[in-house]
Each structure stands twice: as structure tokens, then as C-alpha cells.
């Protein structure tokens, strides 16, 4: 049994989602063989070296689940792309590239955060190219911690304002680019997050039927994981 989740956007300002995640890690998740977190675990991340009690709490909960036998794999999202080896080691997680081909005895999946295929949002793609550049990240990490902490607060404030005003809608994946992606990855079942539009899509690529499962984002009073039971995928509410 394997769980897939993404877009939790955890922060001290999301106590409900935090409670759901901690409960999930301490309970239901431990019944699985593995947990794949496909990006945006946190609302914002500005460096592993920031002394943050909240992040330490989440790392400790992840480590406890890992020590109990749960394999936890993490992939960067557009909010937490700066998470590094220091945090993943403390949390007992394995850092995955994006995309990642998960070949199981029963089936094959290709995993991604999903934002790289939102190519119709030109402003976002320009931003993504900048912040994913290793040299830009090196310069960002070299800035004083207090400046990065202030940046994190500003990003959280901007995000909260967008949510309050309902002013921002994530772009969807580009259709032809997605079909090319599926073709390049051997028509494997595609699982991703980012768009906050949980759905199962059916693609016909070169005459082959390929499923694309979009993960749900997490909310203060409800959350969801995608479950692979060895035979099929299904959505499971996190309570």
C-alpha cells in the first residue's frame, strides 16, 4: 500500500491542516509501505538553517514515522523548492527528482509536482526558471537568515491575501505538452499536484489510454490522499 499527497502548504497559520497531517503520520500512514509527498509540503521555505520550531515539529513527526518503518519520499514543489539535504535527513525522507518514474511489480507511475507543464502561464514559468536556477538558489541561501525569514513572512502574507480575495487561480497543465510528457515516460500513469484541481483525467496518446490523477490540496478541516493498494488507485479522506 502506497500513499501519495501534495500541496499541504503547512505553516503555523494552518493549525487544522497541521493537525490532520500529524495525525495521519502517527496513524493511518504507518499502515502503508511508502508515502510520496509531491511538493508544497510547506507554504514557504527559505533555508534549512532557519531556526524554526514549527519546521522542527514537522521534521520530528516525519522522522518518527520513518523510524517506525514508513518509507517517505519527497519531491520539491513551487513553494518549498529550497528544502535541502539537511532537512530531508532530519525528517528521514528521500529527496526525489522531478519527474520520477516509480516502477512497481504491478504497475508503473510517473510522479511530478506538475508545475513544469503549466507552460501557458508565461509569468509563472519565468519565475520558476529563475528560482530553480542553482546559482540563484546559492545566492539566496547566502543572504542573512533574518532577511530570508522576512522574505518568508512576506511570501506567506501575499499568499494569505490571494486566498482571502480569491484573486489567484493556478494555471492548468498544457494538453499537448502533457501528452508529450506521457509519451516520453512510457505511457505510465501520471500522478501530480500543484493545480489544486483533484480529478482523474483520461488521455489517449498514440492510441494508448493513460490515466492522469491530480492530487488534492489540503484544507483546515479536510484533506485527502491517493492510495495505491496494489491493484488500483483510490482517494481516501484524511480525518
Q: What is the pLDDT along the chain (239 residues), one digit of tens a residue?
A: 999 999 999 999 999 999 999 999 999 999 999 999 999 999 987 767 767 899 999 999 999 999 999 999 999 999 888 889 999 999 999 999 999 999 999 999 999 999 999 999 999 999 889 888 889 778 777 777 666 665 655 455 555 555 555 555 678 999 999 999 999 999 999 999 999 999 999 999 999 999 999 999 999 999 999 999 999 999 999 98
Neighbouring C-alpha atoms within 13 Å toward the C-beta of 202: 3
pLDDT for 143:
73
Q: Supply the pTM of this predicted model.
A: 0.91
Q: What angle do CA 15, 26, 220 make, to 5 degrees?
A: 25
pLDDT for 170:
73
Q: CB–CB of 233/214 below 8 Å?
A: no
CA–CA separation, 109 vs 97, rounded Å? 14
pLDDT for 94:
98
CA–CA separation, 160 vs 43, rounded Å? 10
Q: CB–CB of 94/76 below 8 Å?
A: no
- B/e letters for 78-111, b = 16+ CB within 10 Å, e = fewer, are bbbbbbbeebbebbbbeebebbbebeeeeeebbb
Q: What are phi and psi of 134, to 5 degrees?
A: -55, -35
pLDDT for 236:
97
The CATH number covering residue 57 comes to 3.60.21.10
Q: CB–CB of 213/205 below 8 Å?
A: no
pLDDT for 181:
98
> 14: domain range?
2-238
Name the residue among 35, 57, 44 with its Cα closest to residue 83.
Answer: 44
Element (H, E) at 200: strand 199-205
Q: What is the count of structural domains for the chain?
A: 1
Amino acid at each position: 500500500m502506497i500513499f501519495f499527497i501534495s500541496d499541504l502548504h503547512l505553516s503555523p497559520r494552518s493549525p487544522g491542516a497541521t493537525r490532520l497531517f500529524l495525525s495521519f503520520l502517527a496513524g493511518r500512514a504507518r499502515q502503508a509501505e511508502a508515502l510520496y509527498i509531491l511538493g508544497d509540503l510547506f507554504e514557504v521555505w527559505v533555508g534549512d538553517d532557519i531556526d524554526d520550531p514549527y519546521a522542527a515539529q514537522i521534521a520530528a513527526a516525519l522522522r518518527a514515522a520513518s523510524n517506525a518503518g514508513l518509507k517517505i519520499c519527497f519531491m520539491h514543489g513551487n513553494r518549498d523548492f529550497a528544502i535541502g539535504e539537511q532537512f530531508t535527513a532530519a525528517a528521514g525522507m528521500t529527496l526525489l527528482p522531478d519527474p520520477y518514474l516509480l516502477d512497481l511489480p504491478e504497475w508503473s507511475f510517473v510522479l511530478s509536482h506538475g508545475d513544469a507543464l503549466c507552460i501557458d502561464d508565461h509569468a509563472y514559468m519565468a519565475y520558476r526558471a529563475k528560482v530553480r536556477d542553482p546559482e540563484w538558489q546559492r545566492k539566496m541561501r547566502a543572504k542573512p537568515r533574518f532577511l530570508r525569514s522576512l522574505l518568508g513572512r512576506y511570501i506567506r502574507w501575499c499568499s494569505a491575501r490571494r486566498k482571502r480575495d480569491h484573486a489567484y487561480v493556478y494555471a492548468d497543465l498544457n494538453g499537448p505538452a502533457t501528452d508529450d510528457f506521457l509519451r516520453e515516460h512510457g505511457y505510465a500513469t501520471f500522478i501530480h499536484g500543484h493545480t489544486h484541481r483533484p480529478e482523474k483525467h483520461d488521455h489517449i496518446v498514440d492510441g494508448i489510454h493513460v490515466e492522469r490523477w491530480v492530487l488534492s490540496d489540503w484544507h483546515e478541516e479536510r484533506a485527502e490522499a491517493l492510495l495505491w493498494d496494489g491493484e488500483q488507485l483510490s482517494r481516501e479522506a484524511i480525518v
